[in-house]
Structures are given as C-alpha cells and as structure tokens.
Amino acid sequence: MHTSSSKSPAWVFGTLAVLLAIPVAIACVIPRDLAGQIKLSGDEIVIGTVSSVNEVWIDEPSGGSFPWTLVNLDVQESFVTGKTGPLQVVTRGGLQPGSPSTSITPSPEDLRAGRKLLLFLNKRSFESVELANGAPYLIPSFAEVYRIEEVDTRTGPRQVLLGQGAGMAFPGNLELDQARSELKLLTAVKGDRK
C-alpha cells in the first residue's frame, strides 16, 4: 500500500502535465476557415516578398533570452491598411540551424529571402529595446504563412497559393487571383463592421 501511494503523485503530476499541454497543442492548430483566420490574425494581411531574415536574441522576463526572427518584406499588396513597400515583421523563435524555436514558429523554408508569401499579421503589443519600433506586426504562428509559387500550365505561368490542409484558412492549393478575391470580400466585410 505504501508503494502505490508513492507512485500516486507521479501519476497525478504526469496526468496534469498532459492535460495542461493539450490546450497549447490545440491552440497551435485550431481549425479556422478564412473568416476565422482574419478574425484571429487580421490586423494586417499582405502579399510580399521576403527581402532578408535576421535573428536576434531578446531577454525575457524569466531571466533567460530567446531568439526572435526579424523578417524584412517588400509588400506588393495590403488587404487591410493599403500600405505597400518595405515592412518589417517579427516571429518568436529562431530559423537558423540549431536555434531554439517553438511549435508555432514558421518554417525556415517559408521565411527565406526571395520567397513570395501571403501573411496574416497581428499588431505587436510588447515593447523591446532589441526590436525597437521597426517591426509593428507579429506573425503569430506557422498557420498565418502561405507560400505563393509560380507554376507553368498549358495556358502559361500562374501564381498558386499553397494550401495547408484541412482546418486551415486555405486548405488546398488555390490560384492567387481567387485567394485575392476571397480576401478582398472578407476584409471589406470586416471593415464595414468596425
């Protein structure tokens, strides 16, 4: 009997750890359609090309430091603010080999120089000396990053937005013009409700 009671706290703590981890895992992959995606991360939605990517280490309240990635974009189209041109955004986690990342850090393959992307962004709500004010927006997770590829078809080259699977804003591949039309429609509706 004494043996089972000594195992009991370990079992309880193990179960508690699993139960606490479930909401974090679900939050990373919460199902969302395009309207839901805009509601979660629609402070700015842009199509742009990655100019450069830099990693900085920022001191955290816990006393340690953690890498953040600064992404410089050349924005060709904005669906919310209408602003184009250079824009710097950040995401938590590093993209360099061996750098710590999180379960929501976008892929290094997605955030590399020359890559054309559709990004859903949130306003950055925290201050940081290292980040200064040059990066007004945050990429909240990998689910807000969509690659755009040019593909050759019988009728000529077309730009295709690569889908991310079931439960995402764009589950399947879609011609960029169609994705653009859907975004314009839904962001106009969002703007009307403000």
pLDDT by residue (tens digit) across 61-119? 788 889 999 999 999 999 999 999 999 999 999 998 899 998 889 999 999 999 999 99
Residue 171 burial (C-beta neighbours within 10 Å; 0-12, 13-18, 19+): middle
Q: How far is CA 40 from CA 1, 73, 98, in A?
A: 51, 22, 30
Six-digit token string for 155: 């009728």
Single pTM value for the model: 0.78
Q: What mean pLDDT is reported for the chain?
A: 82
- Please identify, in words, the CATH class of the domain defined by 34-193: mainly beta
CA atoms within 13 A on the CB side of 190: 21
Q: Where are the domains of the chain?
A: 1-30, 34-193
- Looking up tokens 């439960």 gives 167
- Looking up tokens 């011609």 gives 175
The pLDDT tens digits of the residues spanning 68-78 come to 999 999 999 99
The pLDDT tens digits of the residues spanning 117-143 come to 999 999 987 766 566 667 889 999 988
Report the distance separating Cα 117 and Cα 89, nearest Å.
13
> What does the H/E/C string look like for 127-161?
CCCCCCCCCCEECCCHHHEEEEEEEEECCEEEEEE
Report the distance separating Cα 149 and Cα 176, nearest Å.
9
